């Protein structure tokens, strides 16, 4: 028997426990808001209302690179941000689950400007002035709010701990309804984005899962901390958010997912950041049962001045 054939058999044997446990229906992608203000604060996430699959313990990690561009009469934003998440989600009993995760968001040159411009040209999306300024800049300014931060490459934007608990209200065949609560603590102890904030959220999740098809929906409200903002302005005490998603599984291991996320604006007064952010998420998942690999692309819609231009993410999820 050749070494190549032996190696192939060993590889199949190694993955066989994963392949035989492939999940029957997709779950929502593990993504986070990319809009500048929402991405560094507590934001409602699209979640499944069903219990955690397999034996009830999920470990996960993900990373996202994003390009931020927003120019209005009040604010000017032009920089890159990168997110890293690591955490665990477990089913405590038949109805209650809990999740803890750590977020690290920082400014670093991920060279997305050229790709963003080309993407917008290809899909005939307006550049909103991006092609008229220099590439790879790190700039935040607002005369109205007295903010001016430049050349902050390498600085920390958010260092945060997220906690979430979910209680299942209804589980009836393909239907599931659950309520969840979140707490969030952010502490950046140095640099231009130094802050310490504490926020809380509440959300309702509904999921329909039938064979290879899944539909997800979430509605939530978040209690805001003004110290979480990039600019020093008066924020709403409460903001709402909702999200819809669809997942389809094909070929036993492959899944495609589409999601739409709507986030209410942060600021009380008129302007781009008082208006809602709209994000469209397109994702692919390789579902091996006990292990999942996810690739995502997030594009802002409707309002071009208060959301990330584009973001790309990769993630891994493993069920013990």
The model's pLDDT over 78-130, given as tens digits with 9 standing for 90+, comes to 888 999 999 999 999 999 999 999 999 999 988 776 666 556 555 565 555 56
pLDDT of residue 113: 61
Q: For residue 122, give the H/E element and its range.
A: helix 113-122
Distance CA 67, CA 82 (A): 9
Query: What is the pLDDT confidence band of residue 233, given thresholds at 50, 70 and 90?
Result: low
pLDDT of residue 120: 58
Q: Which residue has the higher pLDDT, 76 or 242?
A: 242
pLDDT of residue 183: 97
Q: Which residue has the higher pLDDT, 152 or 169?
A: 169
The model's pLDDT over 215-227, given as tens digits with 9 standing for 90+, comes to 999 999 999 887 6
What whole-number percentage of the chain has pLDDT above 70?
A: 79
Mean pLDDT within 153-179: 95
Compute how many other C-beta atoms are within 10 angstroms of the C-beta atom of residue 300. 23
Of 3-12, 17-26, 74-83, 90-99, the poorest mean pLDDT is in 3-12
Of 5-14, 38-47, 244-253, the poorest mean pLDDT is in 5-14
What whole-number percentage of the chain has pLDDT above 90?
A: 51
Largest CA distance in the chain: 74
Say if residues 105 and 158 touch (Cβ distance below 8 Å).
Answer: yes
Residue 12, token pair as written in the block: 């199949």
The model's pLDDT over 281-312, given as tens digits with 9 standing for 90+, comes to 999 999 998 999 999 999 888 877 666 778 99
pLDDT at 19 over 90: no
Of 119-133, 146-160, 237-251, 286-300, the poorest mean pLDDT is in 119-133
Distance CA 100, CA 121 (A): 40
Query: What is the pLDDT confidence band of residue 160, given thresholds at 50, 70 and 90?
Result: very high
Helix (H, G, I), strand (E, B), or coil: what is residue 30?
coil
Query: How many residues can be counted in the chain?
Result: 320
pLDDT of residue 16: 41
Residues in contact with 253: Cβ distance below 8 Å, sequence separation at least 6, in sequence order: 19, 22, 286, 287, 288
Question: How much is the pTM?
Answer: 0.85
pLDDT at 62 over 90: yes
Of 9-23, 160-174, 198-212, 294-308, the poorest mean pLDDT is in 9-23
The model's pLDDT over 123-143, given as tens digits with 9 standing for 90+, comes to 565 555 565 565 667 888 777
């Amino acid at each position: 028997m050749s070494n190549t054939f032996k190696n192939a058999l060993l590889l199949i044997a190694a993955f066989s426990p994963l392949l035989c446990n492939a999940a029957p229906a997709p779950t929502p992608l593990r993504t986070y808001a990319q809009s500048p203000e929402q991405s560094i604060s507590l934001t409602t996430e699209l979640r499944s209302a069903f219990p955690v699959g397999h034996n009830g313990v999920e470990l996960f990690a993900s990373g996202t690179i994003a390009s931020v561009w927003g120019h209005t009469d009040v604010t000017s934003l032009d920089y890159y941000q990168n997110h890293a998440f690591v955490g665990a989600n477990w089913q405590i009993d038949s109805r209650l689950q809990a999740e803890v995760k750590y977020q690290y968001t920082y400014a670093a040159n991920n060279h997305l400007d050229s790709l963003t411009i080309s993407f917008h040209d290809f899909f005939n999306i307006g550049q909103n002035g991006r092609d008229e300024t220099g590439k790879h800049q790190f700039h935040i300014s607002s005369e109205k709010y007295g903010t001016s931060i430049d050349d902050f490459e390498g600085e920390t934007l958010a260092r945060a701990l997220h906690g979430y608990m979910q209680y299942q209200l209804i589980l009836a065949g393909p239907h599931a309804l659950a309520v969840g609560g979140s707490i969030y603590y952010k502490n950046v102890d140095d640099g231009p984005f130094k802050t310490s904030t504490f926020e809380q959220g509440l959300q309702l999740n509904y999921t329909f899962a039938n064979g290879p098809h899944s539909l997800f929906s979430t509605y939530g409200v978040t209690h805001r901390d003004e110290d979480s903002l990039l600019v020093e302005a008066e924020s709403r005490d409460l903001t709402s958010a909702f999200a819809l998603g669809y997942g389809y599984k094909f070929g036993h291991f492959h899944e495609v997912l589409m999601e739409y996320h709507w986030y209410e604006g942060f600021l009380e007064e008129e302007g781009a950041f008082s208006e809602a952010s709209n994000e469209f998420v397109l994702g692919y998942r390789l579902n091996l049962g006990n292990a999942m690999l996810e690739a995502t692309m997030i594009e802002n819609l409707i309002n071009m001045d208060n959301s990330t231009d584009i973001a790309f993410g990769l993630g891994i999820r493993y069920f013990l």
